[in-house]
Amino acid sequence: MSQTPTAGQLRNRLVDAILGERAVPSDVERAMRTVPRDAFLPGIELENAYTDQAVTIKDNPGKPLPLSCASVPSVVAMMLGQLGTRPGDKVLEVGAGTGYNAALLAELVGGDNVTTVDIDSDVALHARTTLNAAGHESVTVIERNGLLGVHENAPYDRIIATVGVWDIPATWWEQLVDGGRLVLPLRWRGQTRSVALTRRGGELVSDGMELCGFVPIIGQNGERTASLNAADTIRLHYDQDQDIDTAALADTLLAKRPAGSFLSTQRIGGKESFDGVWLRATAGDDRVCRLEVTPEAEEQALIHRPAAPGRSPVLVEGGSLAYLTVTREGVDPDRPFRLGAAAYGPRGEELAHDLIAHIDAWGAARLAVPHMTVTSSATGTAPGHVINKPESRITLAY
């Protein structure tokens, strides 16, 4: 008769699985084998606490995403690896969540050096309670708008955000030492990447970015959402600096006259990610947005199925659009799927060919990521494609 695995066995099994998928620094591995995730998720079944999944700790009624959750453990490991802490570093975490990440940071740098902040009183209390119960009383928990940082404990050697950030606030710049690192799930053109940035005087310079998804931080409203049909089953997500004619787009889709479907030369395997197409397009094209098609719209076949219905890149101009598609072909058994574009509107075919050019550029170097330089909105920019936000300027270059 098999015995029920202990929390420690489940924890080690989870860490082993993460190590099988990605490289994890030895100090991060040690912390994840030490800190009991289940202690920060009271009321959750033990096995569920040690699955590589997010766990909601506070719902957000009327909104599609929860207010707060425990992040996916493999993403936690990835971001802590990007952060590159050293013993004794002073660390600010924006988004306290369950307190689990702060406990990991305490193992890495010492609890006296960790400050975690959350705008929600219930979440901050939960983190304080679980950290105390787990023996991490020395971690500082602050209830405050995380966009303000925590100036009284600054400056910090490391700042990590565990919520989706659309713009980098000037307060974080002011509280990060020169040479310090900032890791955050940064949102632009409808996608989110965990970007590792090092401060070099008046610039933040990237040395890596990874695909991720996080609950957006409260207090930043630079992203817009528009329904493109009366049933609200086709939606466009875009940034405030983009000139989008949502009424013209809605009329185009209502007419149900596609400009056509077009195929690129790029094929992918069944488990191969194609999110790099989106990233590649944002490094030179300001027409990139996110298209969301709900299951109801799919069932009614209102438009040609996007590559990923919930979140596909789309090029938009006037009343025309073209979005990424995936078509199954039997030509190559290793890569049976072919990337392409579906187009609508008078300039749809032109947009489709532009999107295919982005696909082909990605196909020539599928693992390449752009170099990102961030400056404050009051200063100049580095060479490359610039995306302006209220408090920062983002420059991307391959």
Query: Which CA distances in Å does 76 have to 101, 213, 299?
Result: 7, 12, 35
In this structure, of 68-72, 148-152, 382-386, the range with the lowest mean pLDDT score is: 68-72
**Pair type for strands 91-94 and 114-118:** parallel
C-alpha span between 389 and 334 (Å, rounded): 42
Q: Give me the pLDDT at residue 67, please.
A: 47
| Residue 334 pLDDT greater than 90, yes or no | no
* Average confidence (pLDDT) over 269-279: 93
Q: In the chain, where are the structural domains located?
A: 7-211, 223-363
Q: Is 312 a catalytic residue?
A: no
Read off the pLDDT of residues 170-187 as tens digits, 9 standing for 90 and up. Answer: 999 999 999 999 999 999
Give me 381's structure tokens.
């920019």
Sign of CA dihedral 199, 205, 208, 211: positive
DSSP single-letter state for residue 5: P
Contacts of 333 (CB under 8 A, 6+ apart): none
Give me 230's structure tokens.
């009366």
Give me 220's structure tokens.
């930043």
Query: What three-state secondary structure class fits 213?
Result: coil
| Residue 1 pLDDT greater than 80, yes or no | no
- In the chain, alpha helices (H): 7-21, 26-34, 46-49, 73-83, 100-109, 121-133, 170-175, 246-255, 276-282, 295-299, 348-363
Question: What is the value of pTM for the model shown?
Answer: 0.93
C-alpha span between 44 and 254 (Å, rounded): 45
Are 126 and 57 in contact by the 8 Å Cβ rule? The answer is yes
DSSP labels, 164-197: BBSS--HHHHHHEEEEEEEEEEEEETTEEEEEEE
Q: Give me the pLDDT at residue 329, please.
A: 87
Are 236 and 225 in contact by the 8 Å Cβ rule? The answer is yes
* CB neighbours of residue 108 within 10 Å: 23
Read off the pLDDT of residues 173-228 as tens digits, 9 standing for 90 and up. Answer: 999 999 999 999 999 999 999 999 999 999 999 999 999 988 889 999 999 999 99
Are 343 and 252 in contact by the 8 Å Cβ rule? The answer is no
Q: Give me the pLDDT at residue 100, please.
A: 96
The continuous run of DSSP H or E covering 339 comes out as strand 337-344
DSSP single-letter state for residue 40: G
Which entry of 2, 26, 68, 71 is annotated as an active-site residue? Answer: 71
As its CATH architecture, domain 7-211 has: 3-Layer(aba) Sandwich (3.40)
Query: Which CA distances in Å does 380 have to 97, 176, 219, 385, 387?
Result: 36, 20, 26, 13, 12
Are 394 and 372 in contact by the 8 Å Cβ rule? The answer is yes
C-alpha span between 325 and 262 (Å, rounded): 9
Q: Give me the pLDDT at residue 148, please.
A: 97
Phi, psi of 310 (to 5 degrees): -75, -25
Q: Give me the pLDDT at residue 348, please.
A: 97
| Residue 110 pLDDT greater than 70, yes or no | yes
* CB neighbours of residue 150 within 10 Å: 20
Read off the pLDDT of residues 37-90 as tens digits, 9 standing for 90 and up. Answer: 999 998 889 999 999 998 876 554 555 544 467 789 999 999 999 999 999 999
What integer best gives the mean pLDDT of the chain? 93
Contacts of 118 (CB under 8 A, 6+ apart): 68, 95, 96, 97, 124, 127, 141, 142, 143, 144, 146
C-alpha span between 239 and 233 (Å, rounded): 20
In this structure, of 116-130, 167-181, 377-391, the range with the lowest mean pLDDT score is: 377-391
Are 110 and 91 in contact by the 8 Å Cβ rule? The answer is no
The share of the chain scoring above pLDDT 70, in percent, equals: 95
Read off the pLDDT of residues 285-332 as tens digits, 9 standing for 90 and up. Answer: 999 999 999 999 988 888 999 999 999 999 999 999 999 999 998 778
Q: Give me the pLDDT at residue 63, please.
A: 52
- Token pair 């008078």 is found at 346
